Amino acid sequence: MPRDKKGAKGFTLIEIIATLAVIAIVAAVIVTRATPTEGPKVIAAAEALKGQIRYAQMRAMNITPLSTAPTGCSASFGITATSLPPVLFKDCNPATTVYLPAEDSGTSAAVFGGMSLTVDNPKPTDMGTIITFDKFGSPCVDVLCNKPADANITLKLTHTASGMSRLITITKNTGFVP
């Protein structure tokens, strides 16, 4: 028996697909606007800082201090993060700065914009946020690197506007940065 299509009601497949596509686009816009961007920014800045700490450690293990370094200097390289972006220094002298990789291109300043860095452990002294490494890659708590760290060094990187933060740990004795 033939069907009469005169009174048929419903949606065509094209109408359903078009409606689902519009809903998907609207949902994607809402999700991207509602997702905070500070989380990935803090993670990226923390990973950049870890890389820079590892770079300072690698340089300290591969190069001995120059004869012009202060007497008693056991660290050829260190990093200071009293202000961000961090600064690499050599020969136990925070005033003798060296460019970190990609720092001269301005990307380092963009990564650390809106961030602050504090030392949670050990509590900062008058030398501020300075980390030096001896020739074996072990972290020290003095600028001449004559006093090895007796505990893990913990840095706290914080996004100042949102308060989101990441902890960065430098393991005592080995200098491992997970």
Task: pLDDT tens for the chain, 178 residues: list them.
Answer: 455 566 667 888 999 999 999 999 999 888 877 766 677 888 888 898 898 889 889 988 888 777 777 777 877 788 886 667 778 888 888 888 887 766 655 566 677 878 888 777 666 554 567 888 888 888 887 788 888 888 888 888 888 888 888 999 999 888 899 8
Largest CA distance in the chain: 106
Q: Nearest CA to 65 among 2, 135, 128, 127?
A: 135
Give the dihedral sign, CA 132/100/170/121.
positive
Give the type of residue at 42: V
* Whole-number pLDDT of residue 125: 54
Q: Give the C-alpha separation, 69 to 47, whole Å.
A: 31
Predicted pLDDT of residue 24: 95
What's phi and psi for 169, nearest 5 deg? -115, 135
Give 178: exposed, middle or buried? Use CB within 10 Å, 0-12, 13-18, 19+.
Answer: exposed
1-47: per-residue pLDDT in tens? 455 566 667 888 999 999 999 999 999 888 877 766 677 888 888 89
Q: What confidence score (pLDDT) does residue 6 get?
A: 66
Query: Given this model, what pLDDT does residue 33 score?
Result: 77
pTM, full prediction: 0.72
152, exposed or middle or buried, with CB in 10 Å at 0-12, 13-18, 19+? Answer: middle
Asked if the bond preceding 124 is cis, omega within 30° of 0, the reply is no
- Predicted confidence at residue 103, as pLDDT, reads 66
- For domain 37-170, the CATH class is alpha beta
Cα–Cα distance, 83 to 168 (Å, whole number) = 16
